[in-house]
Structure 1
Amino acid sequence: MTNDTAAVQPKSTNLFAILSIIFVWFGALFGLIFGYIALSQIKRTGEGGRGIALAAVIIGWVAVASAVIAFIAIFAIAFSQS
Structure 2
Amino acid sequence: MTQDYGPGAQVSVPREMNGLAIAAFVLAIVGLCSPLGVLGLILGYVAKSQIKARNMAGSGLATAAIVLGWIAILAFVALIIAFFVAGGWETWMDRWDEYKKDNGY
Q: Into which bin does the TM-score normalised by the smaller protein fall?
A: 0.7 to 0.9
Determine if the alignment matches structure 1 residue 31 to structure 2 residue 35.
Answer: no
Question: In the alignment, is residue 52 of structure 1 matched against residue 61 of structure 2?
Answer: yes
Give the TM-score normalised by the residue count of structure 1: 0.86
Deviation of 1:30 after TM superposition, in Å, equals 1.3
Query: What is residue 21 of structure 2 aligned with on the other side?
Result: 17
- Distance in 2 (alpha carbons) for counterparts of 1:70 and 1:22: 22
Number of matched pairs: 80
> Which 4+ stretches in 1 moved above 6 angstroms?
none
TM-score, normalised via structure 2 length: 0.68
Q: Deviations over 1:23-80 (max 9, x none)?
A: 112310110111011011111111111111000000010010011011101111115x
What's 1:40 paired with? 49
- The whole-number CA distance in structure 2 between the counterparts of 1:17 and 1:24 is 10
Query: Using the alignment, how far apart are the partners of 2:24 and 2:74 within structure 1?
Result: 18
Identity %: 32
RCO greater where, 1 or 2, for CA within 8 Å and sep 6 or more?
Answer: 1
* TM-align CA RMSD: 1.7
Q: Which has the larger radius of gyration?
A: 2
Which one of the candidate residues 56, 59, 62 is aligned to 2:71? 62
